[in-house]
């Protein structure tokens, strides 16, 4: 069977920057299988799911993954999810263009269609509704309790979401004692294959990422020698008190893309929606400089780190949360 290239983007608020080509996953896959020939697609299920109220969200195009994100069930509702608004921006109001069922939610071991119910005027959050058989909805995991308490600097949060990990990242994590929990959605449901097996990716439940809430530091953004004026402006959207800035306790090693819309927990209660990351965390070698004609002195980069996440506090979208609880 001949193969073709499909571009799949992971949803996060930093795709404006050229350096984040990592947020676009290039898959070489078999032609989309006919649903009647794929047991998982025909039955609306997948293997390896966990009984947690966190979903893997996929905006499809022609039955194949296009944009990825995470979501989580709202307490007191039946099949209503929180996610990041920027995940839905690309397909809101385009039902006719994309066709019904082009947004999929993978949760527990079930697959649902999902649609947008409500978005706030400013904040990066959205309420989605799962659409499927009532028998499936009755089997959904119990949602996390929502907390509107004030989050303080120094508080510990747990980050949870689902997104693809490259095989080499999973292998490296395991060698360091952090074995990934892999869920074969790309392999089984979408039959996605990389031309180079070493570059194969699979969905992973990131459920043990812990971090400390720290004070925003806009001055550091302005001092960053690697940021353009446009980049500084973009990052300053998040480097303020409107978001929770979290330093993860270990380097994630590559983009957090796809975790957007996931949940931030404090003491087991949901306190925020994952919104963005800082993609400009570099370790610089200040002893050596590069001199680029027309650009002046440029620092040598020793390493890039992925360990900063920005979170929309649930208290800032309380109206959305309360709305989700009322939907029946």
Provide the pLDDT for residue 255: 85
Cα–Cα dist 110/53, whole Å: 12
Which pLDDT tens digit goes with each residue over 90-128?
665 544 344 455 689 999 999 999 988 888 878 899 999
Domains, the chain, ordered by start: 3-143+317-326 (2.40.10.10), 156-182+201-314 (no CATH)
For the cut 50, the answer to whether the pLDDT of residue 50 exceeds it is: yes
What share of the chain has pLDDT > 70, as a percent? Answer: 77
Average pLDDT over residues 295-300: 53
pLDDT at site 298: 55
pLDDT score recorded for residue 68: 93
Q: Which long-range contacts (CB under 8 A, 24 or more apart) does 293-296 make?
A: none
Calculate mean pLDDT across residues 183-199: 86
Q: Which residue has the tokens 């990825």?
A: 68
Strands (E), the chain: 3-10, 24-30, 54-61, 64-73, 80-83, 103-107, 110-118, 126-131, 156-166, 181-183, 201-214, 244-248, 263-266, 269-277, 281-292, 296-305, 308-313
Which of 20-29, 32-41, 59-68, 170-179 is least confident? Answer: 20-29
Cα distance between residue 101 and residue 273, in whole Å: 24
How large is the average pLDDT for residues 145-151? Answer: 94
Per the DSSP assignment, residues forming a β-bridge with 72 are: 54, 82
Asked whether 197 and 139 are in contact (CB, 8 A), the reply is no
pLDDT tops 90 at residue 144: yes
pLDDT band at 204 (very low <50, low <70, confident <90, very high): very high
Q: Are strands 308-313 and 281-292 parallel, antiparallel or unpaired?
A: unpaired
pLDDT at 260 over 90: yes
Read off the pLDDT of residues 205-231 as tens digits, 9 standing for 90 and up.
999 899 999 999 999 889 887 778 888
pLDDT at residue 203 is higher than 60: yes
Residue 189: Cβ within 10 Å count: 24
Instruction: State the pLDDT at residue 132.
Output: 85
Mean pLDDT for the chain overall? 81
- Predicted confidence at residue 239, as pLDDT, reads 93
What is the pTM for the complete model shown?
0.82
pLDDT band at 274 (very low <50, low <70, confident <90, very high): very high
Model pLDDT for residues 160-189, shown as the tens digit of each residue: 999 999 888 898 889 988 899 999 999 999
What is the reported pLDDT for 273?
A: 97
What is the rounded distance in angstroms from the CA atom of residue 222 to the CA atom of residue 208?
32
Minimum mean pLDDT among 34-48, 144-158, 159-173: which range? Answer: 34-48
Q: What is the pLDDT of residue 7?
A: 46
Distance CA 104, CA 241 (A): 33
Measured CA to CA, the distance from residue 83 to residue 88 in angstroms comes to 9
């Amino acid at each position: 069977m001949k193969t073709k290239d499909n571009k799949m983007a992971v949803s996060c608020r930093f795709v404006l920057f050229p350096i984040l080509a990592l947020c676009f996953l290039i898959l070489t896959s078999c032609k989309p299988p006919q649903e009647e020939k794929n047991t998982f697609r025909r039955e609306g299920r997948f293997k390896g799911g966990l009984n947690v109220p966190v979903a893997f969200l996929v905006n499809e195009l022609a039955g194949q993954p296009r944009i990825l994100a995470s979501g989580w069930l709202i307490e007191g509702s039946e099949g209503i999810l929180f996610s990041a608004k920027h995940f839905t921006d690309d397909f809101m109001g385009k039902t006719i263009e994309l066709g019904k069922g082009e947004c999929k939610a993978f949760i527990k071991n079930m697959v649902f269609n999902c649609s947008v119910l409500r978005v706030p005027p400013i904040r990066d959050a959205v309420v989605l509704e799962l659409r499927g058989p009532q028998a499936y909805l009755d089997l959904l995991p119990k949602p996390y309790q929502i907390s509107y308490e004030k989050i303080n600097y120094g508080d510990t949060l747990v980050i949870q979401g689902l997104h693809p990990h490259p095989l080499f990242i999973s292998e490296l994590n395991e060698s360091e004692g952090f074995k990934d929990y892999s869920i074969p959605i790309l392999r089984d449901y979408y039959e996605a294959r990389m031309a180079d097996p070493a570059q194969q990716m699979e969905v992973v439940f990131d459920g043990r990422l812990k971090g400390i809430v720290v004070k925003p530091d806009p001055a550091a953004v302005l001092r960053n020698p690697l940021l353009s004026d446009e980049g500084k402006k973009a990052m300053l959207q998040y480097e303020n008190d409107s978001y929770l800035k979290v330093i993860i306790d270990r380097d994630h090693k590559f983009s957090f893309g796809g975790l957007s819309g996931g949940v931030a927990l404090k003491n087991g209660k949901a306190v925020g929606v994952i919104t963005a990351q800082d993609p400009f965390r570099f370790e610089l070698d200040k002893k050596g400089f590069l001199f680029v004609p027309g650009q002046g002195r440029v620092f040598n980069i020793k390493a890039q780190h992925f360990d900063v996440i920005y979170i929309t506090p649930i208290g800032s979208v309380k109206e959305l949360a309360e709305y989700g609880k009322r939907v029946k």
